[in-house]
Structure 1
Amino acid sequence: MTDFHGRLSELLKARFPILCIESYEEQRVIEAVRRLVHDAKLVRTPRAVVTWSLTEGLVHEDGSRRTSTNEPSRALDAVIGIKQPCVVIFRDLHHAYDERTGSPGVIRRLRDIAQAFKNGPVPRTLLLLSPVLRIPAELEKDVTIVDFALPTEAEIRATLEAMIAANAGRIRIDLDEIGRERLAKAALGLTLQEAENAFARALVQDEVLDLSDIDLVHDEKRQAVRKSGLLEFVDLTTDLADVGGLENLKRWLHRRNHAFLAEAAEYGLPAPRGVLITGVPGCGKSLTAKAVATAWGLPLLRFDIGRVFSGLVGSSEQNMRTAIQTAEAVAPCVLWVDEIEKGFSAVGGGDSGTSSRVFGTFLTWMQEKRQSVFVVATANDFERLPPELLRKGRFDEIFFVDLPTRAERVPIWSVHLTRRLRNKRVAGALSPTPATLDELATLSDGYSGAEIEQAVVTGLYDAFAERRPLEYDDLVRALVNMVPLSVTQAERITGIRRWADQRAVAATAAEDWDPGGRRDSGEPPSRPYGGRPVEY
């Protein structure tokens, strides 16, 4: 028995007169109610189910309709006259609440029904069903809200299996048991109709059902995210292989792949909560956030906390709750909060406590969340991070990303050069050979990954200006003319490293640390790179 069936059964037995359900899935709700009211184990007295809509009026289970009941007031008058045990489901009645544009007297009639049904000789219940939750103030004490969850994984899986069986012989199925589980999990957060649409699109696209069809399911989720206006659905174009270095962080992430599957739950593992990545700007924090979603095959949502705050009193708190609900509806997913310290910089400030309340809502959700939403938060300024955010239970781990070591600069150069030298107009005598990459890694000591990428781009501009292929000297000249962050903000970087020395885990693997640990950018802390030398 689901939570919905259990709670609705209790409310019907207790003769609660008016219930309210917020859901877009009208038919799924109606079918669930019908199954419940005819189950002798859940209700003492079987009840008839009568439905109403503005277009059909009152319709009984046998299909017969009551004439002249399309108008809400007339329909409610007819409902009071029903003398048999029943559940009457009114769809979209919320349009009639407005005294200027709706039907006059609807709210008064609903209060009369609440009194009549509560004290009547037979059990009767009025159920208000609509896609938006709108209860007039006059009815707040008479109406009880019942939560109706989106389809479970089992329901979605059953729909998927039914569609596969119905199309047997016409399509090819390239999914094992784990593949089918991943496809069903990808559709969590969709209505049953939306999930069915996504699966149908996957079936007709190439007549092959495989793991690549997860992208089509994510397209359906993209619609829900865009409508919220608070989250951004990010296209996945980056893999962990595109992230140079940071092997310790990458190993940690690889070991948590597939942790959202049922196999992990049976093993006794909780779903991973999230990771906070802090460190020197331009060293791959945001790139890693994008790459983890690709590696895990999950949708990536970007959460701009600045959108939460608005001028209306109380709307910021509601916006945060809406953003959280949207992320949970799309789960399992990766929620990327970029530069989280800027979003909550006003916590404790003079904004009448709005920032503190919003921040508190976010912290409570991170601590108590039950849905598989993996939070990847990035931060550049550790001093502005609220201490409450750093305690265990919010994130699984805190990683520190330092300037890349010599061993890490080699793959960074390789990634950027290989990507651009695929163009025949760019490629010439220059090739990313081990010797070339080694020389460039040596020359770029103290440069961040973003600065190395910019050196490649600057070299391309010089080559394009002369309409010739990229040359080694172009890259050297770009490096020489660039003043890296390790020079312009040497003191700040040293301070960041000392902060991370005891508070965070090094994203760089110990085997990649430079011998001696000294750089052109200055003296390091007690260890070569900031962060505790924990190995994953």
Structure 2
Amino acid sequence: MTSRNATHKTKKHLANLFRARFPYLYIQTWEEDRILSLIRDVAQDAELIKTTRDVILWRVTSGLIDGKGQPKDDTKQPLKALEYIEKYDKPCIFVLQDFHVFFGSEWRTPDYLIIRKLRDMLSSIKRSEHPINVIFTSPFLTLPEDLQKDVTIVDFELPSFEEIKAVLEQMIQMNEQNGRIQIDLDEEGKERLAKAALGLTLSEAENAFARAIVEDGKLGAQDVEIVLEEKEQIIKKSGILEFIRSDLKMTDVGGLENLKRWLSKRNKSWLDSARKYGLPAPKGVLITGVPGCGKSLISKSISSMWQLPLLRLDMGKIFRGIVGSSEENMRKAIQTAEAISPSILWIDEIEKGFSGYSGGSDSGTSARVFGQFLTWMQEKTSPVFVIATANNISQLPAELMRKGRFDEIFFVDLPTRQERKEILKVHISKRLIDPEVAGDFELTDEILNLLSSKCEGFVGAEIEQLVIDALFEAYAENSSVRLEYFERAIMNTIPLSVTLAEQIRGIREWANVRAVAATPREDREEYTNEGLAIPHGGILSSMDEFDDVRFKRGGRTVDF
């Protein structure tokens, strides 16, 4: 359903409720002006509502105010306002703002007199000769049990793409007339900016665009970053999701070209241009593999490639709090991710979050939260791309890996020779920037080949650390960098391929038939270096020991 159709559906739904004389409606929203504008449009649309109606607004600060801005005397008190509504004898829609404060909460006792009055009014409103509707609007959904059977909750979505784009176009037009800013936006650029602002209120979107304009006196596609910064405020206020800001780029990730190509082909797939091909927005990927091989690194890099906000879901925060709050926390996390979509939702080490999904020790809470997440993954229509990473794939339930949850499952293995060269080049080049520290050391292809051979069996994190260790050696000796420092760091490192040999074998056996290799066919190889260094400088003591670190590379051969 397009955003425009969704807005029309909301108007029609409201009109049908008015015509059916639903007495009490409840709309949760922060956007008072926008919902009032919508209600007034519906109230005066004879084609939709048949009988047009006045709209009268109530606030505790002003009492009842009619459409002409005229206050109704002595109606600031809620009981007086309700008495006025009960006696009103014309077709009318009454909008009561922030009336939830009288409904009670965890910190406030309900006003039972007002609740009783609302229940007493039901029969007179329903029997009234003229149609009367009462709408409660509030940023919070607070409804006492006494009124749950009498009040209808109406969903009011955040501004549509068309509404936000209209605000953007209006701001562009106004500033072009003034001639004070430079506009560098084509249609795709406008679409990217407007879609980046999805999840913001109209006021928040307008503020974000205004800030982009005053930053440098220009408005262009690069200002997507400023819009994303405004979205970060939403995440901070939710308290469950974490907004990840990362400067990492795909060029900072060595190797994994197969996975990179897959991701690159799906860039911009949430834009309208993809709709021409009948393409849905991608659901997500599950990335499993050897710990420390770059799963988290590439997850962070997708955000910069796609220019989308990256949100990390901490499962520990989902399960904290009082009984019954875990399901609500998951619901809020999903709502927040969808509210600021298109977005990327990252769940790191997902197997730890759902390890107790079978229920038992937690009265089934994990199972309910897991089921809630699975249902959303299967049925979601909002462009929220889910990245889940896992080290121990055996702990993941089979339901999570069923087709329809993720678009693809990728396996990240120990880096190949070519990948180790790229990782070494990335980390050495990034750190070795001072000419005095570099000295006579040149990062040639010959040196990269030598080092990549010596660190066979190392994961990406270990390669990064050996570069850091080598630079510490140079720093401690107040010397420029020398090749021997890197060789010494390699000799002093016991790789995970030795300490976690059995676990790596199990991961590879699983991935060989169930996952796609993140490394392309041309870069894949078997490990053949029987002189793999260990701390005391010797070699592996036997071929049995060597077999624990030399495996056939896992993952199906599917190149993108």
TM-score by length of 1: 0.97
Q: Would the aligned equivalents of 2:309 and 2:344 in 1 still touch at CA under 8 Å? A: yes
Please name the residue that 1:535 is paired with: 559
Please name the residue that 2:119 is paired with: 111
The answer to whether residue 16 in structure 2 is matched with residue 10 in structure 1 is: yes
Partner Cα separation in structure 2 for residue 531 and residue 426 of structure 1: 41
Cα distance change on mapping 1:526 and 1:422 into 2, 3 Å: closer
Please name the residue that 1:63 is paired with: 69
Cα distance change on mapping 1:523 and 1:506 into 2, 3 Å: farther
Cα distance change on mapping 1:15 and 1:251 into 2, 3 Å: same
Please name the residue that 1:77 is paired with: 83
Identity of aligned residues (%): 52
- The alpha carbon displacement at 1:3 in A equals 2.0
- The alpha carbon displacement at 1:279 in A equals 0.3
Please name the residue that 1:163 is paired with: 171
Partner Cα separation in structure 1 for residue 10 and residue 356 of structure 2: 40
The answer to whether residue 150 in structure 2 is matched with residue 137 in structure 1 is: no
Aligned length in residues: 535
From 215, 219, 230, give the equivalent of 1:209: 219
Give the aligned residue type for 1:26: E
- The alpha carbon displacement at 1:469 in A equals 2.5
Please name the residue that 1:485 is paired with: 496
RMSD over aligned Cα, in angstroms? 1.7
The answer to whether residue 349 in structure 2 is matched with residue 343 in structure 1 is: no
Partner Cα separation in structure 2 for residue 388 and residue 55 of structure 1: 53
Partner Cα separation in structure 2 for residue 228 and residue 311 of structure 1: 14
The answer to whether residue 48 in structure 2 is matched with residue 24 in structure 1 is: no
Q: Would the aligned equivalents of 2:501 and 2:549 in 1 still touch at CA under 8 Å? A: no
Cα distance change on mapping 1:519 and 1:248 into 2, 3 Å: farther
Cα distance change on mapping 1:420 and 1:12 into 2, 3 Å: same
The answer to whether residue 355 in structure 2 is matched with residue 331 in structure 1 is: no
Please name the residue that 1:494 is paired with: 505
- The alpha carbon displacement at 1:461 in A equals 1.5
Partner Cα separation in structure 1 for residue 87 and residue 307 of structure 2: 55
Alignment of 1:309-458 (within 5 A): 309-348=319-358, 349-458=360-469
Please name the residue that 2:236 is paired with: 226
Give the aligned residue type for 1:41: E
Please name the residue that 2:542 is paired with: none
- The alpha carbon displacement at 1:518 in A equals 3.8
**Partner secondary structure for residue 46 of structure 2:** coil
Cα distance change on mapping 1:88 and 1:285 into 2, 3 Å: same
**Partner secondary structure for residue 289 of structure 1:** helix
Q: Would the aligned equivalents of 1:73 and 1:103 in 2 still touch at CA under 8 Å? A: no
- The alpha carbon displacement at 1:332 in A equals 0.4
Give the aligned residue type for 1:477: R
Partner Cα separation in structure 1 for residue 522 and residue 314 of structure 2: 36
For structure 1, the residue ranges without an aligned partner over 5 or more in a row are none
Please name the residue that 2:537 is paired with: none
Deviations 1:263-290 (A, max 9, x none): 1012100000000000000000000100
Partner Cα separation in structure 2 for residue 252 and residue 264 of structure 1: 16
Deviations 1:106-131 (A, max 9, x none): 11111122222122111000000000
Q: Would the aligned equivalents of 2:350 and 2:388 in 1 still touch at CA under 8 Å? A: yes
**Partner secondary structure for residue 300 of structure 2:** helix
Partner Cα separation in structure 2 for residue 114 and residue 173 of structure 1: 55
Give the aligned residue type for 2:555: G
**Partner secondary structure for residue 49 of structure 1:** strand
Partner Cα separation in structure 2 for residue 519 and residue 303 of structure 1: 40
Please name the residue that 1:268 is paired with: 278
**Partner secondary structure for residue 21 of structure 2:** coil
Deviations 1:22-63 (A, max 9, x none): 000000000000001111111010000000101111000011
- The alpha carbon displacement at 1:527 in A equals 8.7
Cα distance change on mapping 1:444 and 1:118 into 2, 3 Å: same
For structure 2, the residue ranges without an aligned partner over 5 or more in a row are 533-545
Please name the residue that 1:50 is paired with: 56
Deviations 1:136-155 (A, max 9, x none): 11000110000000000010
Cα distance change on mapping 1:527 and 1:254 into 2, 3 Å: farther
Q: Would the aligned equivalents of 1:107 and 1:138 in 2 still touch at CA under 8 Å? A: yes
Please name the residue that 2:539 is paired with: none
Give the aligned residue type for 1:178: E
- The alpha carbon displacement at 1:431 in A equals 2.6
**Partner secondary structure for residue 426 of structure 1:** helix
Q: Would the aligned equivalents of 1:498 and 1:525 in 2 still touch at CA under 8 Å? A: no
